[in-house]
Structures are given as C-alpha cells and as structure tokens.
Homo-oligomer: A and B are copies of this chain.
Amino acid sequence: MAKDKKLVEQITSMEEDFAQWYTDVVKKAELVDYTSVKGCMVIKPAGYAIWENIQAELDRRFKETGVENVYLPLFIPENLLRKESELVQGFAPEVAWVTQGGNEPLQERLCVRPTSETLFSDFYSNDVHSYRDLPKNYNQWCSVVRWEKTTRPFLRSREFLWQEGHTVHATAEEAQERTEMMLNVYADFCEEVLAIPVVRGQKTDKEKFAGAVATYTIESLMHDGQALQSGTSHNFGDKFARAYNIQFTDKDNTLKYAYQTSWGMTTRMIGAIIMVHGDNSGLVLPPRIAPVQVMVIPIQQKKEGVLDAAAALKDTLCRAGLRARLDDADKSPGWKFSEQEMRGIPCRIEIGPKDIEAGQAVIVRRDNREKTVVPVDQLAQRVREILEQEQQDMFERARAHRDSHTYDAHTPEEFDAVISERSGFIRAMWCGDRACEDAMKENYGVTSRCIPFAQEKIADTCICCGKRADKLVYWGRAY
C-alpha cells in the first residue's frame, strides 16, 4: 500500500461525496482540465490515451462488420436541419449558431452539428440511386456540440467527442438487423474491454431519439447506484428518407425509399470507467483499455544496479507486448505507488536490492492490491495472467455490484420503499402509457432506462397506475 499519502489525501472519499470524489479523480488523475471556454474541457494526455484505445477497439469491431469511415461537415445550414421536424424540435434548444463568417453576416445561419442525421441524409440523397449502391455503412469520428446548461467532465459538456454511425439500407429488415448488430457491438465492447456489465433493451417512446422509430440502448450502473446510458442505436425506418428524399431504383425497377439507422458512443464512457471501477485511491483502469498497463517502480533506486534491473524488467515486458513504463523519477517509492494508483495503472512491479539478489520481483494489482512474488524469468507470463485475472475480476465485481443494486418492485409501496432507502436499478412493470412515465419522473425523479430484451413478468399491474401491464422496465436515476 501507498506509504506516501499526499495525493490520496487530496481526494474526497466517495462515501462522503460521490460527485466531489468524481471531480477529484478526473483532476488528480490528470484526465481533464477546465478551460476559459465555458462548459468545454481539455482532455489531457492521460484521458485522451484512454479515448484512443476506445477508438482503436471500437473502430476495429465496426470495420469487422463492414463499416467504413467518412467525414462530413461540422456545420448544418438551418433549412437542412429543419427538414425533419421531430429532430429539429429535439435539438433546436441546444445548438450553437454560427451567424458570421469572416467580416460578413451569413445569409443563412449554420448550426454546429449536435448530431449528423440531417447531413448524412442529404449526402445519401445524392449518393444513393440504385439497389446496387446499398447498403452504405458509414461512420465518423468527430466532436459535436450541445449547448448544455450544467456540465460535468466527460458526462455532460458543451462539446464532446464521439463516433456516429449512419447506415442506409434497401429494406426495413436489414435496417433493423444493423440497429441490433451495432447495439451488440457496443454491449460486447463494454463488457469485454471496459469490464462494464450492461443491460440491453429498448427505449420507451418518451426516451427515444428525436425522429427515431425505435431506439435501443445499453444501460450501466455506476458505483453510486445511478444509471448511465452508455450507447444507443436508432432505427429510423424510412422517416428521414421521406424528409430528405433518399430514393433508389430497386431490382424490380421501382423507385423506393431507403431505410436508415444511426448509433453512437461518446467520451462519456471514460466517465463510466471512473464511476464503475474507481476507488478512494483514484482511478482503476481495466487492463485491456489502460494506456499503461504496468508501472515498474524501483525500490532504493540509488543503489547500484537497481535502476538497470528495473529498466531491464520494463524492456522485457514491452518486448512481450505489454504496455509497460518505468518510473525513475527522483521521488520516494511511496509517492510513486500513490501516483500509479491515482492514475489507475492496473499493476505495478516493485523491485529492490533484495529482490534482485533473490532473482524475483513483486507484482501488485491495482484493484485489490494483491501481491505476488515471482521469479524474474517468469515475469512477463505472470503479469499477463494477473492482468487477465484482474480484467475478469473487475467485470465480476461490477456485475455483482450491479446485481446487488438491482431491485424488483411489485407494488407502488415496494417501489416507494426501495427508492427511499436504496439507489440502483428498480425493475417494475409498466402499462405503456406516457402519463405513467411522467408521473414516475415527477414522483420519484426516475426515468425508464429501458425495456430490457430479457423480459420477465414479475407482476400483473403497472407500478404507477395499477392497470394491466405486460412490460418489464428498468427504472432509475441517471446521469
């Protein structure tokens, strides 16, 4: 354990104040910084490196399903935005408007893209003519702007980074298949790489994306029991195709409207990693996403041979394909342990004069601080095993937390009891009426997170109105 507590003492404990703990971690782990640009953040190297790894992993998974990357403009002319009425109603209150270019006012104002359905639809209306042109499975990595009033690093900011996939298909079935496929790509990525268990399901009409026929979501649970929408996938049917005139000549030589989907995942997943895995010593990164997986920390590094031995271990680990670094700064080992823990590096190797003499090194896991003494000639192999175990354990721990914070409410009384004493997902039946969702929000501050694909009938009546209900819903407070 860290002997030098300076870094640690500077962060608030999560039990005391979870929001402040979060803010402390993003600052002390040097993930972001505030800027002179209100509501926007600087993503610093330690934060951006996580995003680069998320990008690489997701991009590879997208491309395996036939997705190609493109880049569309940052700006949307107002009349283009207004062509699809639901979308514009959904986004108009929160877009930034460019009204002047150079020294002259613009004839038509441009909004800074909050999302790019309109631009992709306009592009596809020119690019799609025949069934031979379909499908187009395009994606772009970019930033988008939403003029949020209250902001928090990663979770809600006026500008954020994301990918947005936009596909166009000849049939409704194919669009539905793509919508579900991408939701599963997100779910697998979260579970396998970020060690974050998710609930897969469909959004209610109230919560779905403006203009979508159906929105699917993966929902995860943070350590404080609040939900985080972690990725969404939308089926638009032919609604945008009709608004933007995306028509193609089909095999039967008739003109048809095309079917579209979109799906996105954002930098808020870095917030999810922090809030699912972090602890009171700071960030805890799952080994598969960690930019640095192993920090080698020499003990008594001024003694002859120690730094050389530590550097040799680091080189061995790098050659074995592990992302390892050596911390040879002129600081105490305790300080370095504390830094490695704050930054969430999944394991550290301690090596000092006695270890060198014994031909061994000490591996310490970040998540549970378990120590393993290993012969140096087995180091790379053992580190790899330990990281793999840590990845699995982190997932299992997050799942156990999620499961132990998921409650079933069969009656309004039970819902009341749970919501007043616990925080987490509450599973309860819903009749399907928007009015009940509004009442749940009003009464308890909860929203329907999703109608899970894995349905169960846990009661006969709606948790809100008491009428017949056949939909199981996950309810919760959400970021």
Taking beta carbons and an 8 Å cutoff, which residues of A are in contact with B?
33, 35-37, 40-45, 48-49, 51-52, 68-77, 80, 92-103, 109-110, 112, 119, 122-123, 126-127, 138, 142-143, 145, 147, 158-159, 161
Q: Once the chains bind, are B36 and A77 in contact (CB under 8 Å)?
A: yes
Q: Once the chains bind, are A68 and B45 in contact (CB under 8 Å)?
A: yes
Q: Once the chains bind, are A143 and B145 in contact (CB under 8 Å)?
A: no
Please name all residues of chain B whose beta carbon is closer than 8 Å to the beta carbon of A119 when the two chains form the complex.
Answer: 35, 37
Q: Once the chains bind, are B99 and A100 in contact (CB under 8 Å)?
A: yes
Q: A69-B45, A100-B96 are in contact. Are A74 and B127 (CB under 8 A)?
A: no
Q: Once the chains bind, are B48 and A80 in contact (CB under 8 Å)?
A: no
Question: 26 A-B contacts, Cβ less than 8 Å apart?
Answer: A33-B126, A35-B72, A36-B77, A36-B80, A37-B75, A40-B74, A41-B73, A42-B72, A42-B73, A42-B123, A43-B70, A43-B72, A45-B68, A45-B70, A48-B71, A49-B68, A49-B69, A74-B112, A75-B159, A93-B103, A96-B100, A96-B102, A97-B99, A97-B100, A100-B109, A102-B147
Q: Once the chains bind, are B143 and A74 in contact (CB under 8 Å)?
A: yes
Please name all residues of chain B whose beta carbon is closer than 8 Å to the beta carbon of A102 when the two chains form the complex.
Answer: 93-96, 147
Q: A45-B68, A147-B101, A147-B102 are in contact. Are A37 and B73 (CB under 8 A)?
A: yes
Please name all residues of chain B whose beta carbon is closer than 8 Å to the beta carbon of A77 when the two chains form the complex.
Answer: 36-37
Among B44, B45, B51, B123, contact of A33 (Cβ-Cβ < 8 Å): B123
Q: How far is the CB of A428 from chain B (nearest CB, A)?
A: 34
Please name all residues of chain B whose beta carbon is closer than 8 Å to the beta carbon of A127 when the two chains form the complex.
Answer: 33
Which of A41, A48, A52, A77 neighbours the largest number of chain B CB atoms within 10 Å of its CB? A48
Chain multiplicity (copies): 2
Please name all residues of chain B whose beta carbon is closer than 8 Å to the beta carbon of A43 when the two chains form the complex.
Answer: 70-72
Q: Once the chains bind, are B52 and A69 in contact (CB under 8 Å)?
A: yes
Chain B residue nearest in CB terms to A74 = B159
Q: A98-B112, A100-B109 are in contact. List 7 more A-B contacts (CB 8 A).
A: A42-B123, A45-B69, A49-B68, A74-B74, A75-B96, A97-B99, A142-B143
Q: Once the chains bind, are B37 and A76 in contact (CB under 8 Å)?
A: yes
Cα-based distance from A52 to B69 in the complex (angstroms): 9
Cα-based distance from A76 to B42 in the complex (angstroms): 13
Please name all residues of chain B whose beta carbon is closer than 8 Å to the beta carbon of A93 when the two chains form the complex.
Answer: 102-103
Cα-based distance from A200 to B101 in the complex (angstroms): 34
Please name all residues of chain B whose beta carbon is closer than 8 Å to the beta carbon of A48 when the two chains form the complex.
Answer: 68-71
- 3 closest Cβ pairs, A-B complex: A40-B73, A45-B68, A101-B147
Chain B residue nearest in CB terms to A94 = B102
Which of A75, A93, A122 neighbours the largest number of chain B CB atoms within 10 Å of its CB? A75
Q: Once the chains bind, are A161 and B42 in contact (CB under 8 Å)?
A: no
Q: Once the chains bind, are B101 and A98 in contact (CB under 8 Å)?
A: no
Q: How far is the CB of A393 from chain B (nearest CB, A)?
A: 30
Please name all residues of chain B whose beta carbon is closer than 8 Å to the beta carbon of A161 when the two chains form the complex.
Answer: 71
Q: How far is the CB of A345 from chain B (nearest CB, A)?
A: 16
Chain B residue nearest in CB terms to A73 = B40
Which of A93, A97, A109 neighbours the largest number of chain B CB atoms within 10 Å of its CB? A97
Q: Once the chains bind, are B99 and A99 in contact (CB under 8 Å)?
A: yes
